[in-house]
Structure 1
Amino acid sequence: MDWKIELIAVPVTDVDRAIDFYTNRVGFALDSDHRVSDELRFVQLTPPGSACSIAMGTGITEMAPGSQKGIQIVVSDADAARAQLIDGGVLASDVDEQPWGRFVYFDDPDGNSWALQELPQRT
């Protein structure tokens, strides 16, 4: 039996600001934005090429905005991913070279933190 992670909640204070950040600055696709009621708004966004999406909105999670730390995305080229973030106006770290990969880090406007990892070449 396969177990697949397909959705991760990302707590934010301003849903519209977060949608703008993730779509226009980072490059995620806006899959859905449904306001079910005044207490429930469900937004789903997906990184390019990913089988896993993020969810945000109102009434989605009890986590405090900014408390989601260390979501990791695998990219084919850390330098190109960093350049894309910088071009989008995102404050991104320099590429961090480690034996287990090359990493770029950034935070969303609420302080939720992300790591982009370029996997090392297999020998």
Structure 2
Amino acid sequence: MDLRLELVPIPVADVDRAKSFYSGQLGFVVDFDHRVSDDFRIVQLTPPGSACSIAFGVGVIDTPPGSVRGLHLVVADIDTARAELLGRGVDISEVTDLSAPGKPTVSYAGFADPDGNTWTLQQVRD
């Protein structure tokens, strides 16, 4: 049985602000932005190179804005990715390396969207 994660709903307070952050600052591709009524609008975006998208809007998810924690974006070169996000105005932490004897080093750098949903860049180094 295959189980593919393809969509993660993200709770946001301001749809247009979130769309601007995810597309403009993070570089996510806007797949669609569809308003059915004043009570339902859905925006779907996909990180470059990802098979999984995110969605937010009006009437999409009822959890509090900013309540999603620790979504990971896996990158090949965390230093380059971090520098690019800094250049786009994203407030991102310094890179932290974690390692254990005999295991690859895992590097992290965290940031939050305008609502406080948190994300982590991750790189695994052999």
Report what 1:56 is aligned to: 56
Matches of 1:18 and 1:82 in 2, distance apart? 20
Report what 2:112 is aligned to: 107
Task: Kindly state the Cα deviation for residue 118 of structure 1 after the two structures are TM-superposed.
Answer: 0.4
Task: Kindly state the Cα deviation for residue 120 of structure 1 after the two structures are TM-superposed.
Answer: 2.3
**Partner SS state of residue 76, structure 1:** coil
Matches of 2:124 and 2:31 in 1, distance apart? 27
> Which amino acid is 1:61 matched to?
I
CA-to-aligned-CA distance 1:45-91 (integer Å, 9 cap, x gap): 00000000000001010110000111111110110110111011000
Computing the radius of gyration from Cα coordinates, the structure with the larger value is 2
TM-score normalised by L of structure 2 = 0.93
Residue 87 of structure 2 is aligned to residue 117 of structure 1: no
Structure 1 gap segments, 5+ residues each: none
Report what 2:15 is aligned to: 15
Equivalent pairs: percent with the same residue? 52
Alpha carbons 1:26, 1:84 under 8 Å: kept: no
Q: What is the alpha-carbon root mean square deviation over aligned residues?
A: 0.8
Report what 2:32 is aligned to: 32
Matches of 1:80 and 1:40 in 2, distance apart? 38
Aligned residues: 121
**Partner SS state of residue 16, structure 1:** helix
Structure 2 gap segments, 5+ residues each: 100-104
Matches of 2:41 and 2:98 in 1, distance apart? 39
**Partner SS state of residue 104, structure 1:** strand
Report what 2:6 is aligned to: 6
4+ residue stretches of structure 1 with deviation over 2 A? Answer: none
**Partner SS state of residue 119, structure 2:** strand
**Partner SS state of residue 119, structure 1:** strand
